[in-house]
Amino acid sequence: MNSYKNPLEERYSSEEMLFNFSHNNKFRTWRKLWIALAEIEKDLGLEITDEQIVELKANAENIDYDKAAEYEKKFRHDVMAHVHTYGDVAPSAKGIIHLGATSAFVGDNTDLIQIRDGLLILKKKLVNVMKNLADFSIQYKDLPTLGFTHFQPAQLTTVGKRATLWLQSLVLDIEELDFFLETLRFRGVKGTTGTAASFLELFNGDYSKVKHLDKELSKRFGFEKVFGVSGQTYDRKIDAKVVALLGNIAQSAHKFTNDLRLLQNLKEVEEPFEKNQIGSSAMAYKRNPMRSERIGALAKYVMSLTTSSAMVASTQWFERTLDDSANKRLTIPQAFLAVDAILLIWNNIMNGIVVYPNRINKHIEEELPFMATEYIIMEEVKAGGDRQEIHEVIRLHSMEASKKVKEEGKENDLIERILNDDTLKLDKSKLKEVLDPKNFIGFAPIQTEEFIANEVQPILDANSELIGLESDLKV
């Protein structure tokens, strides 16, 4: 309790994402890379024995972290510390560990593996958010609600149609995520400055063997594409691009929670509120949108990290500079952990979200008379009235009704005023029929159905094996 603990680990992120960026996963991957490197080099004719390979494999997970820390303190070099630590438990193979490679061989390739696997973890959570939102959209596609422009009451939409706006953002996000995964390249085997000069020596100038080593190693770790050229490191634009992608998902989440927090203030839609949950330590009646606020807080953090990765990518010197290292250690894992938490919370919200139709309808009734004025003017003209004169009559009635609402706190009586105005000639028996909210939602239900069927459902079908997720929160 006397040292700082990262809240992402303690409070928010899933165990699978925490493992992805754990020391165990990182350094085991280093050893897997060293084993694969040795195996392929042996196949290509280097003097590496089966016994050496066997010893490396037998000790692949036998990592003495205390010994590694001692070596790093001595050498001031994390990779060489682990080379020596591995060599201590696999002495026969000590001389061929890391043969021809540079630090970026294990560091960069492991980073790329973690990025890929991290995105796959996020994709599962993202697909489940989309499934939950799609179900919500269809369930409420016909339920009229006030639309808002400038957060002022506007033409009606439906609760389900509004949810498709949140979904549309996620469609763009998952398209970007899939494209990133499809085009992600492995660093592979490139040498100290990207020229593979060390492997030129090892393979006596046989470039075809170096190419084979590069390609074969990448395939073993699930990468079909390999960087054709690099300096010592892979292009740091990869880091900037993936953090930007994570920032885009954070933007989508923040937009959703902003809307939900506003709706919760209106008492139209609420996030889950558990039986024993306390909203306020002082105000016992409160039901605060704490999950949404947590997403907002984490989303702001992720979006801020996009600048950091962009600055790193733009300031790399020539073939290698180390001022990326400390930044990468912080930025990339924490961006992934934060988005992981965001999607976990979002799924949790959707699994218990509450809609209040009566409250929604009450707000409609307060505003709908004003929205019906254009229809009333048109009907009056059809009945033989003068458009400009009628417009003035309706305007005056609207101003008086608005005054009653705003200054006196009374109900909107515009329709009653119009019904009692004998100068107006429209069929007043028809007026109340027209004021059915469903007459003011346009094509919202059809748009919702089409969007889900044409754009969302194909994504869900293509990722059906990912659907189904426990979304309990740590706190």
Q: Are 183 and 164 in contact (CB under 8 A)?
A: no
4-16 average pLDDT score: 96
pLDDT of amino acid 170: 98
**Of 473, 453, 370, nearest to 413 (Cα)?**
370
pLDDT of residue 369: 84
**pLDDT on residue 274:** 63
Phi, psi of 154, rounded to the nearest 5 degrees: -130, -170
How many residues would you count in the chain?
Answer: 475
Domain 373-434 has CATH 1.10.40.30: yes
What is the rounded CA–CA span in Å between residue 309 and residue 324?
A: 9
Predicted pLDDT at 172: 98
Confidence (pLDDT) at 284: 46
Reported as a single tens digit per residue, the pLDDT across 39-76 is 999 999 999 999 999 999 999 999 999 999 999 999 99
Q: Percent of the chain scored above 70 by pLDDT?
A: 97
**Which of 123-137, 159-173, 259-273, 424-438 shows the lowest per-residue confidence on average (mean pLDDT)?**
424-438
- Identify whether 397 is a catalytic site residue: no
Q: Encoding tokens for residue 358?
A: 């009566």
Closest CA to 87 of 77, 97, 79, 75: 97
> Given this model, what pLDDT does residue 420 score?
85
Q: What is the pLDDT of residue 283?
A: 56
pTM check: above 0.85: yes
Q: What is the mean pLDDT of residues 104-131?
A: 98
Instruction: Locate CATH 1.20.200.10 in the chain.
Output: 103-187+230-359+452-466
| Range 7-96 has CATH code 1.10.275.10 | yes
Question: Is the distance from CB of 148 to CB of 155 less than 8 angstroms?
Answer: no
pLDDT at 310 over 90: yes
Token pair of 206 as six digits: 């046989």
| Catalytic choice (150, 208, 281, 429) | 150
SS3 state of residue 147: strand
E-only strand ranges, 323-393: 354-355
Tokens of 273: 């509120």
- Contact assessment for residue 78 and residue 5, using Cβ atoms and an 8 Å cutoff: no
Instruction: Write the DSSP symbol of residue 440.
Output: G
Query: Mean per-residue pLDDT for 155-166?
Result: 97
Quick: pLDDT tens for 385-431: 888 988 898 889 889 888 888 888 888 888 888 888 888 777 767 77
3-state secondary structure 81-135: HHHHHHHHHCHHHHHHCCCCCCHHHHHHHHHHHHHHHHHHHHHHHHHHHHHHHHH
Amino acid sitting at position 138: I
The mean pLDDT of 107-133, rounded to a whole number, is 98
- In the chain, residues under CATH classification 1.10.275.10 are 7-96
Mean predicted lDDT score pLDDT of the chain = 93
Q: What percent of the chain has pLDDT over 90?
A: 80
Neighbours of 405 (CB within 10 A): 16
Catalytic residue among 23, 280, 304, 402: 280
Confidence of residue 197 (pLDDT cuts 50, 70, 90): very high
* CATH 1.10.40.30 domain range(s) in the chain: 373-434
103-187+230-359+452-466 carries CATH number 2.60.40.10: no
**Of 108 and 365, more confident:** 108
Quickly state the pLDDT bin for 294 (edges 50, 70, 90).
very high
Does 222 have pLDDT greater than 50? yes
The label of the residue with tokens 């494999």 reads 57
pLDDT for res 19: 98
